[in-house]
Amino acid sequence: MDALQKLQESGKLKCCMCKTTFRPDENYYTAQLPVKANWSYPCWGNFITKIQGMAIAYLCEKCGEDDSRRNYDIVLAVEIEGQEVRYHDLAWKGPMCVIQN
């Protein structure tokens, strides 16, 4: 079991759009946010463009599958350090890349 799965099962992961806590067996989505993170995990980057340290949001099944909303209503970015999960308010409103885990 990986660290993220452990956090999900302990009820510490919630949707960055509707703020609902993930069910232990829920499939969730990852959104690559076009904003810089000032923490180290989780982040995304692109080795071709050399972009690094960008923030991530996790979305529940319901929000991740709703194409009409998911690009514009993400309100939180997630930071994880060990077993601690912190959420950061997100000012960004606009298109972003959402992928299913």
Q: How far is CA 40 from CA 28, 34, 55, 91, in A?
A: 21, 16, 9, 20
- In the complex, the smallest distance separating the C-beta of residue 77 from Zn ion, rounded to whole angstroms, is 14
- In the complex, the smallest distance separating the C-beta of residue 18 from Zn ion, rounded to whole angstroms, is 3
CA distance 44 to 51: 8
Q: Which is nearer to Zn ion, 37 or 63 (CB)?
A: 63
- In the complex, the smallest distance separating the C-beta of residue 66 from Zn ion, rounded to whole angstroms, is 9
- Contact set with Zn ion (CB under 5 A): 15, 17-18, 60, 63
